[in-house]
Structure 1
């Protein structure tokens, strides 16, 4: 079992650093799945106990100049690692001006992802900074627990307003309640609402647009399209998701399963991030 990769382009390095930083803000522990073509950062908590799920997919060819992988077996050319993403994020932040970056799976006192950065030097000698990040290798028999989540059978799908705008709204609302109602319809309208015994506050967004997942979605009457689907969520979960973002997506989509779950999809040219927040009663 071997893994070795090299990154030379500064733009790719900075982009990869931003993505890992985003992951580190979303979860304290995650699974990194390495395949020949892609990298995946995964989190799957128990939704029944209020847990969230995350699935972040990167095409390795868009980041790495060299990428070598030998999995656990010829018919299973993959590696699954459990790690603390903050440790990887911290290591990458020290390599912002590196001439190149190497990442490989090593065996020190325990399995590690070793990050080695070739940094600029005033002398002719190279200056290499190395970080050893402890990881746990997940055995093959447990791989079935880490499957890509399917897009839920949602009631409404809608494009999100600018994430920074949405974050500013949530930041003001969080002091009023622990919970927020997010609702949207097929007319491109979305509302964020706080309702308590003492106060009722709402923010309205219009003309956001609805993704064309299914042409049948647009066949409903005006009353059907205006009907709101809503979900009540923990406002801290939503704030955490919005605060963490450094992906700068080209498209951001929200899918609502009425009273059950809200599913966010952030799409960029070289990365996709899915995040699931379950409803609260």
Structure 2
């Protein structure tokens, strides 16, 4: 197994750092899956993390000037590493003004992702800063746990309001309740609701729009059953999970949307031209 990559462009480095920092806000540990064309940050929905799962996909060509890897074998040309994204984020943040950053899979006292940055200098002597981020190599027999999740059989898909606005509302609601009901319909309307014995608060959004899912989407084109556009579909979720997602968001997506499986799953999607992030929050009764 071999992996080495080199980032030369400072905008690419900053963007890659923002993506990793976003991941670090969502989970303490995740799997970094390396393939010849892509990098994936994966969290599989285990009970230990509240059933939350995540799938973040990056095209390596949009970030790396040089990218070389050899997987476990020619048939299984992949590498899966368990990594603490916070450590990776911290290392990348210290080298933001570097002329070049090399990332390499190394074997020190344990397997590491070694980040070596060539920093600008006033003299002719080069300055190189190195960070070793410990990782665990995931054995081949466990790879099946880290495949792309299938698109849920959603009842409603809707574009999200500005994430900053949504975050401010959810932050306030969190002071009043541990759970939030998010409901939406096919008429571009979405409500955020909390209800307790003492208070009931609802925030309404209108004219958000509904994504035009094509034939390749879930269930042959999105919501298959003929649904009344005004009829609301809902999911009641742990408000901390939603707040975590909104707080960590640093990638400034070109599109943000959510799919709701009625009383089952909230599926959040952020799209950028060179990355996509999917986050699944299970509904609670």
TM-score bracket for the superposition, by shorter chain length: over 0.9
Unaligned 5+ segments in structure 2 are: 216-220
Asked if the contact 1:50–1:280 (Cα under 8 Å) also holds between the matched residues in 2, the reply is: no
Unaligned 5+ segments in structure 1 are: none
Partner residue in 2 for 1:187: 187
Asked if the contact 2:185–2:231 (Cα under 8 Å) also holds between the matched residues in 1, the reply is: yes
Please state whether the residue corresponding to 2:228 is helix, strand or coil.
helix
Please state whether the residue corresponding to 1:101 is helix, strand or coil.
strand
Asked if the contact 1:174–1:236 (Cα under 8 Å) also holds between the matched residues in 2, the reply is: yes
Partner residue in 2 for 1:146: 146
Please state whether the residue corresponding to 2:57 is helix, strand or coil.
strand
Q: Say which is worse superposed, 212-221 or 140-149, in terms of deviation.
A: 212-221
- Matched residue count: 280
Partner residue in 2 for 1:198: 198
Judged with a 3 Å threshold, the aligned counterparts in structure 2 of structure 1 residues 196 and 71 are, in CA distance, closer, same or farther, namely same
Displaced runs of 4 or more, over 4 A: 214-221
Partner residue in 2 for 1:36: 36
Deviation at 1:141, TM superposition (A): 1.0
Asked if the contact 1:56–1:274 (Cα under 8 Å) also holds between the matched residues in 2, the reply is: yes
Judged with a 3 Å threshold, the aligned counterparts in structure 2 of structure 1 residues 256 and 104 are, in CA distance, closer, same or farther, namely same
Asked if the contact 1:5–1:104 (Cα under 8 Å) also holds between the matched residues in 2, the reply is: yes
Please state whether the residue corresponding to 1:224 is helix, strand or coil.
coil
Q: Choose which of 203, 228, 234 in structure 2 pairs with 1:224.
A: 228
Deviation at 1:269, TM superposition (A): 0.4
Cα deviations across residues 42-89 of structure 1 (Å, max 9, x unaligned)? 001325973200000000000000000011111111100001000000
Distance in 2 (CA, whole Å) between partners of 1:260 and 1:267 is 23
Partner residue in 2 for 1:102: 102
Distance in 1 (CA, whole Å) between partners of 2:270 and 2:44 is 18
Q: Choose which of 249, 254, 260 in structure 2 pairs with 1:250.
A: 254
Distance in 2 (CA, whole Å) between partners of 1:48 and 1:271 is 27
Partner residue in 1 for 2:45: 45
TM-score (normalised: structure 2): 0.95
Please state whether the residue corresponding to 1:226 is helix, strand or coil.
coil
Distance in 2 (CA, whole Å) between partners of 1:96 and 1:226 is 48
Distance in 2 (CA, whole Å) between partners of 1:113 and 1:90 is 13
Asked if the contact 1:156–1:256 (Cα under 8 Å) also holds between the matched residues in 2, the reply is: yes
TM-score (normalised: structure 1): 0.96
Asked if the contact 2:155–2:223 (Cα under 8 Å) also holds between the matched residues in 1, the reply is: no
Partner residue in 1 for 2:276: 272
